[in-house]
Amino acid sequence: MTLIEANRSRVVDVRAAGLYMRLAETDEEVMAAQALRYRVFYEGMAAKPNAAVAAVKRDFDSFDDFCDHLLVFDESRGEGPNAVVGTYRVMRRENAARCGQFYSADEYDIAPLVSYPGEILELGRSCIDVAYRTGKTMQILWRGIADYVLGHDIQLMFGCASLLGTDPDHLAVPLTYLHRNHLAPPALRPVALEKRYVSMNRIPAAEVAPSLARKMLPPLIKGYLRLGGFVGDGAVVDHDFGTTDVCIVVKTDLVTERYYRHYSRDEPSKS
């Protein structure tokens, strides 16, 4: 098989603005993604590594072996592990069955999502190197996800998304905004596990200015909402990562035709 044939066989194969995105194809590339996650989550944010993670300076867990790892490379640094500048971890239904569960099941009752007909996809562990946090990098990440969704006929996407901080009262404005404006319909509504459940409906609606609330949301959550995303009932405080999590749900048939047209691999390259 030629290199061109190999590239055509890839579910994700996107180039734009000097960046390149595809799935990890070697153990070394997965380890590079884990090292990037460590730098972002543990060195750049408030996550607390356990002894094993701290020893190797890589963020890893038992789910990694059952996931696909979407990688963004800086083409000026080649295409190997040293060029990885962004990553997204995704898991389909069959791989969750092999693993024993989806990652989100540690925080939410996701039975309504697991019972959804068709292919489902859990997204998580998204991060970008601090020097590459630009709109161009976010765009190529979304293009890669769009290709993956199309390539595997994904019907529903979901996953835990994080707001920085572990005091829900300090996050009352964005949490209340999400609960009041983007709560998933009952048939698709994950609910935080009882022992971890934190109410998102924290302050009166009159105290929530939508424009301010949206500014307080992380770019990733705003991106999901632009795709028609919903949130589950209840937040979960993750002290290990220093975050407050919400469960995001996106039906891919709610993603506009314009989005698919813009991000599909059949669009002529503008790079």
Q: Tens of pLDDT along 20-53?
A: 999 999 999 999 999 999 999 999 998 999 999 9
Whether pLDDT at 250 is above 70? yes
pLDDT category, 7, cuts 50, 70, 90?
very low
3-state helix/strand/coil string of 118-163: CEEEEEEEEEECHHHCCHHHHHHHHHHHHHHHHHCCEEEEEEEEEE
Q: Is 30 inside a domain boundary?
A: yes
Q: Within the chain, where are the H helices?
A: 3-9, 27-38, 51-56, 93-99, 111-114, 135-151, 172-182, 210-216, 219-226, 257-263
Taking residues 131-153, report their average pLDDT.
Answer: 90
Mean pLDDT computed over every residue of the chain: 90
Please report, for the domain that includes residue 246, its CATH number: 3.40.630.30
pLDDT of residue 79: 73
Task: Write down the pTM of the prediction.
Answer: 0.89
Of the pLDDT bands very low, low, confident and very high (cuts 50, 70, 90), residue 9 is low
**Distance of alpha carbon 11 from alpha carbon 22, whole angstroms:** 8
Residue 170 Rama label (left phi>0; alpha psi -120 to 50; beta)? alpha
Q: What is the pLDDT of residues 189-232, one digit of tens each?
A: 999 999 999 999 999 999 999 999 999 999 889 989 988 999 99
| Whole-number Cα distances in Å, 225 to 106, 160, 217, 220 | 23, 14, 10, 9
User: For residue 270, is it within any domain?
Assistant: no
Does residue 213 fall inside a structural domain?
yes
pLDDT at 256 exceeding the cut of 50: no
Q: Domain for residue 271, yes or no?
A: no
Compute how many other C-beta atoms are within 10 angstroms of the C-beta atom of residue 238. 17
Q: pLDDT band at 259, cuts 50/70/90?
A: low
Q: Residue 6: pLDDT above 70?
A: no
Boundaries of domain holding 241? 3-263
Q: How many CB atoms lie within 10 A of CB 169?
A: 9
166 has pLDDT over 90: yes
48: which residues sit within 8 A by CB, 6+ positions away? 42, 239, 240, 241, 242
110 or 7, which is more confident?
A: 110
Based on the number of CB atoms within 10 Å of its own CB, is 36 exposed (0-12), middle (13-18) or buried (19 or more)?
Answer: buried
Question: Which pLDDT score is estimated for 261?
Answer: 52
Mean pLDDT of 109-130: 96
| Percent of the chain residues past pLDDT 90, beyond the cut | 78
Number of structural domains in the chain: 1
182 domain-assigned = yes
Give the model's pLDDT for residue 17: 87
Q: What are the residues whose beta carbons fall under 8 Å from the beta carbon of 213, sequence distance 6 or more?
A: 173, 174, 176, 177, 178
| Domain presence at residue 42 | yes
Mean predicted confidence (pLDDT) in 51-70: 97
Does 68 reside within a domain? yes
Stretch 162-169: mean pLDDT, rounded? 96
**pLDDT(253) > 80:** no
Torsion from C-alpha of 133, 95, 100, 195, nearest 10 degrees: 30
Residue 268 lies in a domain: no
Mutual angle of helices 135-151 and 219-226, in 10-degree steps: 50
